[in-house]
Amino acid sequence: MKSIAQNNHQDKVLAASIYSFFKEYHVSALLKSVNAYKSKGIPALAVFTVLFGAIFTQRSFYMGILMNRAAYNLSKDTLYRFLNAAQINWLRFTSLLSARIATRTIEPLTDEQRVNVLIVDDSMFSRGRSKKVELLAKVFDHAKGVYDRGFRLLTICWSDGNTVLPVNSCLLSTANAKNRINEAIKMDRRTLGFKRRALAQTKAPEVMLHLLMAAKNAGIHARHVLFDTWFCSPASLLAVKKIGYDVIAMAKKTSKVKYLYDGENLSVPEIYKRSRKRRGCSKYLLSVEVIVAKDGNSIPARLVYVRNRNKKTEYLVLVTTDMKLNEKEMIRLYGKRWGIEVFFKFCKSYLKLSKECQGLSYDAMSAHVAIVFTRYMMLSVENRLCADEHSLGELFYFCTDEMADITWQESFQKLMQILEEVLTKNLDLSEKEVQNILDAFLTNLPQILSMRLRQIA
C-alpha cells in the first residue's frame, strides 16, 4: 500500500522561498552560463532544485532525493550524473551568484563608506571512512591535532561586517604525492575537469591567488583581504597587492620571516625588542612601518602589535599593506575575519558539509560543496531581510513597540482575581473559605513566587 502524501504548509513555504530565491537571482541562467544544462529530458534547474532542497526534508540525502524527485519524475541516475558532470564550472557559479546577491541585495542596504572585505581560510573536509575517493589524501587537522583522511576546503567569503557570503572554494588534496591515497582519473588536459583536479594538487597560497582572481573577475566589490598566519608571507602580501587588494593579516612570530626596518632585515620579535612600546591602556602596544620585499619587488607595510587577551604576557601582530589605515581601524576590520569561522561551523552542523553526499568522484564533491554554499546564501539573504533595521519586518516591530504590554505583576493579579471569582460563584464558598484556599495555594508555591504574589494579592 502506497503512503498518501501530506499537504504540509511548511513544505509549501519552503518551496516558495526557494522559487523566489532562484527567480530573483536568475539561478537558471547562471547554471546555463557555467555549462550546467541538458540538451534533452529534465531541465538542469529541476535537477539542481531537487539536490538543493534535499537537506530541508530532515532526512538522509538519499531519502531527501527520493521524496523530492517524485515531483519532477526524476530517476536516481539522472541526479548522480548531474553531480558527476565534469564540465560544470562550480567555482564560477558560486562566484557569480555571490556577486549578484552582494550587489543587488546587501550593498544597497549599507552605507557607501562601509568597508567590504574578502576572508580567506580553510577547514577540514573529512572523509575518514573512505578508501576509494578520488584524490583522497592524509591531511593534518589543526583543530584536533591529528592526521585524517579527507581534504582541506580552502574558501573565500565576502563580508560587510553583518552578512557573510561564500564566494568560491577549492577542495585541496596535497601537492605531495606521498600523502595522496588515491590519484586523479585520467582526463583530457584541455577539459575543465582536468584543470579542477590540477588545482586541487597545487599549494594553498597559489590556489588562494587563483580564487581571488576569480572573485575579482566575477565583480565582487571588496577593499581588503583578511587571512591568518598560515597564508601570511612576503610573497603572498606582494601577490595579493598586485591583484588589486590590500591585506590585513596576522603576521607570523618567527625568525624566518624578515621585514626591512631601519635599514635592516629584522623578524617580528626583533622589531618588538628594539622599539619603544606604548604605555597605558592603549589598544595596541606598538606600530611601526616596514618594507615587505621579495625577489626584487617591495611594498610598504605597517606592523601593529596587539595585546593577547588570552595571555597578557604575549602579543599578537597584525600586518597591513594599506598605509592609509590607522591602527584602531585596522584592528576593527580584522575582527570581521571571525565571520568565516561561524560560516564553517554552520555549514558542518546544519547543512551537513562533507557528510551529506558520499560521492567517490572529485566532481561530485565539488558540486556538493557548491550546493551547500548556495543554501547558505539563501539563508543569509532571508536572515538579512528579516533582521536588518532597513527591512519591513524590523520597521513593523519598531511601530509595535509603542504598544505597552501588560506587566508581570498585573498579569498575576488578574489571574488571582479570576480564581477568586470562580471559587465564589461556582462552588458557593464563603469569603473566608475562599481566602483559606488561596492561602493554601500560595503556601505550596516556591518561596520567591509566593512572596511576590502575596504582595499583589
- On the question of pLDDT at 449 being above 80, the answer is no
pLDDT score recorded for residue 72 = 61
CA distance 184 to 281: 55
362-387 vs 9-24: helix crossing angle, rounded to 10? 100
Position 404 confidence tier, pLDDT thresholds 50, 70, 90:
very low
25 and 104 Cβ atoms separated by less than 8 Å: yes
For residue 141, what is its C-alpha cell? 587537522
Of 357 and 242, more confident = 242
pLDDT for 411 equals 64
Start-to-end Cα distance in the chain? 61
| pLDDT of the residue at 326 | 92
For residue 118, which phi and psi values (nearest 5 degrees)? Answer: -110, 135
Percent residues over pLDDT 70 in the chain: 85
The number of angstroms, rounded, from the C-alpha of 110 to the middle of its chain's C-alpha atoms is: 20
Per-residue pLDDT tens for 230-283? Answer: 899 999 999 999 999 999 999 999 999 999 999 899 999 999 999 888 877 678
38: closest CA among 72, 75, 85, 77? 85
Pick the range with the lowest mean pLDDT from 30-39, 41-50, 434-443.
434-443
At 258 the pLDDT is 93
Task: Grade residue 400 by pLDDT with cuts at 50, 70 and 90.
Answer: very low
Least confident of 17-21, 65-69, 245-249, 334-338: 65-69
- pLDDT tens, 150-186? 999 999 999 998 899 999 999 999 988 899 999 999 9
395, pLDDT greater than 50: no
Other Cβ atoms within 10 Å of 295 Cβ, number: 8
Question: Comparing 84-93, 139-148, 227-236, 265-274, which segment has the lowest mean pLDDT?
Answer: 139-148
For residue 63, pLDDT beyond 70: no
Q: What is the pLDDT of residue 392?
A: 47
pLDDT value at position 389?
53
The answer to whether 166 touches 341, Cβ cutoff 8 Å, is no
Handedness of CA 197, 202, 208, 209 (dihedral sign): negative
Instruction: Give the model's confidence band at 412: pLDDT under 50 very low, under 70 low, under 90 confident, else very high.
Output: low
Q: Residue 402: its pLDDT value, please?
A: 40
Mean pLDDT of 85-113: 91
Which three cell numbers, joined as nine digits, stand for 455?
504582595
398 vs 49, more confident: 49
Residue whose cell numbers read 565576502: 158
Q: Give the model's pLDDT for residue 299.
A: 95
pLDDT at 453 (0 to 100): 64
Q: Is the pLDDT of residue 301 over 50?
A: yes
Do the strands 297-307 and 315-320 form a parallel or antiparallel pair, or are they unpaired? antiparallel
Mind listing the pLDDT tens digit for each residue in 359-381? 899 999 999 999 999 999 999 99
Q: Name the helix (H) or strand (E) containing 393.
A: helix 392-400
Q: State the average pLDDT for the chain.
A: 85
For residues 357 and 368, what is the distance between their CA atoms, to the nearest angstrom? 7
d(CA 392, CA 30): 29
Residue boundaries of the structural domains of the chain: 9-83, 88-223+345-392, 232-321, 408-456
Quick one: cell of 221? 566589490
Mean pLDDT of all residues in 43-50: 89
Q: With bands split at pLDDT 50, 70 and 90, how would you rate the model's confidence at 109?
A: confident
DSSP string, 48-83: HHHHHHGGGGTS-HHHHHHHHGGGTT--HHHHHHHH
